A and B are shown apart, each in its own frame.
Chain A
């Protein structure tokens, strides 16, 4: 348990019961998707986890791989072709967002079954780009 004292919009002081020290925590978002900040560290609780490639890496050992856009981006190059054998780590699509190139790489060896994006296309975060089996 802890004692909580609101000190402003989105700011609380918290006293943990262990040693009586007060900490300042900043809070934003909705109850379903909270953002918090404490001493230079940011936390997200209840919201979506990172849309990173690391999240899907574990599921990619066997079975179909769905490679999706990690964020809204422009497709600058499509290297994948349907039927192509891809090796783990091969770059299949190059997207660009915020002036940086984001290579979309195969998570495991596989055969490309569908290419769902075109060069020059603006894609949403989470949109499927390439499917492999």
Chain B
């Protein structure tokens, strides 16, 4: 059994994992960079270790620093979260060698699925259709260009080493491919420490539908149904839901069966996701990639199945058997998640950093918030701009959307700009409401949706009156009017008893 688990991540996912540890009686260890000494995830854990400078490459992406922290705290397990080192086979192998339980698949599976060539060959052998694409052996600009020509335009260039839309670019037949290739390579290198590129044909009007799977060491391998993540902006998922509005029971049966076969073929263990592109017109689906980790959008699956995926990950990683059979698992009602990003839809979605002056989470039935920030925190410039996830569930899709809208309208985050108004504009869009969006929907409609979001609108008169009122009591005002003899419980620096 795991006694002490180090969480090699930050933000909301680190907090999510720390909570699962608390529930199961495991001691949690947070790690933090210079920029995160006062971050919420540090306070969510039982212990914390400083691991290095603010730049991720010197802290959250540094295998030696994380291993040192594991050694220093005598942790017997590590949860990598998503992003950072979560799909790094060398890190998983180093943990295996050090006798530390890695909460994820064996390093050889990460390596096999992380190499897109291998993954696709394995998937094809298992009889599952794939999208044409390759990781060219010749990684020079001309080598990538030749590969693009082979798979056919329009095509995608993306990081071979990871997902999340980082380093992913669309190239049309008439585009300046060289500039695009170089930008993708730099972004891939910055995000994953590996600039290797993969090219693939772009399937038009496709939906992104993925199947959650989980497997144990005792031949247990289950699917936990699908998530539809078609609402993406520049390949970054924005809204995810389950069930998919376009997946029929027959298609669901074929896709989930393919996902379990893929997981079994790879010798998978722990939680993973098989991503597919679905052509809703023909009902065809193609394997896209396998994510060998917990996904950002895992709560959507948790809400429709009623299961705790992180808890299950810990059980499986400890060598335990899955506590359910496929027949125990059902998909009930509808769940939908919106990701809140620190970005300004009124200025080309520029990422935002800065102090959170006021922050209040909505509380209402059927709404779950997984967040990584608190009032008074500073959002650093060094990391991903996702601040929180709002997950609404209800009996039907319409009701779940209405709950999500209500929650977003009562979720003030002040001090930096966020995409909340933009999310609301998506949820109001007729095409979204009809369940009729493809993966290019936001890239087509994004600008007009940003306009609908009123990001450049006039301030309503009564709001302006409050802004200009000298009597307005604000979240920040209290700090300025602190008495001369401060109450120690209200000071912001450390003190000793």
Residues on A facing B (Cβ under 8 Å): 1-2, 4, 6, 9-12, 14, 16, 23-31, 34-46, 50-54, 70-73, 76-77, 91, 94, 96-103
B351 nearest CB neighbor, chain A only = A98
Closest beta carbon of chain A to B30's beta carbon, Å: 21
Q: Which of B351, B409, B463 gathers the greatest number of chain A CB atoms within 10 Å?
A: B463
Within residues 427 to 458 of chain B, which ones have a CB less than 8 A from any CB in chain A?
453-454, 457
B452-478 interface code vs A (CB 8 A; 1 in, 0 out): 011001011011111111111111111
Closest 5 CB pairs of A and B: A52-B347, A10-B475, A37-B412, A28-B357, A28-B358
Smallest Cβ-Cβ distance to B470: which chain A residue: A31
Given A27-B473, A40-B420, the answer on whether A73 and B381 have CB atoms closer than 8 Å is yes
Chain B residues in 8 Å Cβ range of A91: 179
Show the binding face of B for A, using Cβ within 8 Å: 166, 179, 182-183, 186-187, 190-191, 342, 344, 346-348, 350-353, 357-358, 360, 381-385, 405, 408-415, 417-418, 420-421, 424, 453-454, 457, 459-460, 462-478, 480
- Asked if B382 contacts A98 (CB within 8 A), the reply is yes
Question: Do the beta carbons of B466 and A36 come within 8 Å of each other?
Answer: yes
- Whether A4 pairs with B463 at a CB distance below 8 angstroms is no
Given the complex of chains A and B, what is the CA–CA distance between A77 and B189 in angstroms? 14
Partner of B347, one of A26, A54, A99: A54
Separation in Å of the A86 CB from the closest CB of chain B?
A: 14
Inter-chain CA distance A71–B416, complex, in Å, is 12
User: Which residues of B are found within 8 Å of A71, using beta-carbon distances?
Assistant: 350-353, 381
- B277 CB, min distance to chain A CBs, angstroms: 24
> Taking A39-B409, A42-B421 as contacts, is the C-beta distance between A101 and B187 under 8 angstroms?
yes
Q: Which residues of A contact B360 (CB under 8 A)?
A: 11, 26
A12: contacting residue among B191, B384, B466, CB under 8 A: B466
Does the CB pair B421–A41 fall under 8 Å? Answer: yes
A39 to B406, CA, bound (A): 9
Docked-complex contact A45 and B468, CB < 8 angstroms: yes
Chain B residue, CB-CB nearest to A43? B459
- Binding site of A, secondary structure by majority: helix, strand, loop or mixed? strand
Residues of B with C-beta under 8 A to A102:
350
| A53 touching B348, Cβ below 8 Å | yes
CA separation between A50 and B424, bound complex, in Å? 21
A53 CB to nearest B CB, Å: 7
Residues of B within 8 A of A30 (CB): 474, 476-477, 480
Residues of chain B contacted by A50 (CB below 8 angstroms): 344, 346-347
Beta-carbon contact of A4 and B476 below 8 Å: no
Taking a contact as CB atoms under 8 Å apart, the answer to whether A26 and B414 are in contact is yes
A26-B414, A71-B350 known; 7 other A-B pairs, CB under 8 Å?
Answer: A10-B358, A41-B453, A41-B454, A44-B417, A52-B346, A52-B348, A71-B352
Most buried by A among B382, B405, B473: B473
23 contacts across the A-B interface (CB closer than 8 A): A6-B473, A10-B475, A11-B360, A12-B473, A16-B462, A25-B462, A27-B474, A35-B414, A36-B414, A36-B466, A37-B414, A40-B411, A41-B454, A42-B413, A42-B421, A44-B417, A45-B467, A54-B347, A76-B186, A94-B186, A97-B381, A99-B383, A102-B350
Nearest-Cβ distance from residue A2 to partner chain B, whole angstroms: 5
In the bound assembly, the distance between CA atoms of A96 and B470 in angstroms comes to: 40
Among residues of B, the one whose C-beta sits closest to the C-beta of A23 is: B462
Q: Which residues of B contact A14 (CB under 8 A)?
A: 462, 466
**B466 with A28: CB separation less than 8 A:** no
**Closest residue of B by beta carbon distance from A72:** B381
